[in-house]
Structure 1
Amino acid sequence: MLYRKMPKNGDELSILGFGAMRLPVKEDGTIDEERATNQIRDAIDNGVNYVDTAWPYHMGQSEPFLRRALSDGYREKVKLATKLPTWMVDSREDMDKFLNAQLEKLNTDHIDYYLIHSLAGELWEKVESLGVIDFLEKAKADGRIINAGFSFHGAPDEFKPIVDAYEWDFCQIQYNFLDEKLQAGTEGLEYAASKDLGVIIMEPLRGGLLAGEVPTSIEDIWNEGSTKRTAAEWALRWVWNHPEVTVVLSGMNEEAHVEENLRIADEANSDSLTENELKLIERVENKYRELMKAGCTGCSYCMPCPVGVDIPACFEMYNNLYLFDNDDMTKLMYAARLGGITGAEPGFASLCVQCNKCIEKCPQHLEIPTLLESVVEDFEGPGLEQRIEMAKMFLANKDA
Structure 2
Amino acid sequence: MRVIGLMSGTSYDAVDAAAADLERGAEDGVLRLVPLGMVSEPYPADVREALAAALPPATTTLAEVCRLDTRIGQAFAALASRADRELCAGRAELIASHGQTVYHWAEEGRVHGTLQLGEPAWIAERSGCPVVSGFRPRDVAAGGQGAPLVSLIDLMLLRGRPGVPAALNIGGIANVTVLPAGGDPLAFDTGPGNALIDAAVRELSSGKRAYDAEGALAAAGRVHEGLLERLLSEEPYYRIPPPRTTGKELFHAGYLRARLAGLGELRPQDLVATLTRLTARTVADALRPLAATEVFVSGGGVRNPALMAMLREELGSAAVRGSQELGLPAGAKEAYAFAVLGYLSLHGLPGNDPGCTGAAGPRVLGSLTPGSRPLRLPAPAGRAPHALTVGAPPGGTPPG
TM-score (norm 2): 0.26
TM-score by length of 1: 0.26
Greater helix share, structure number: 1
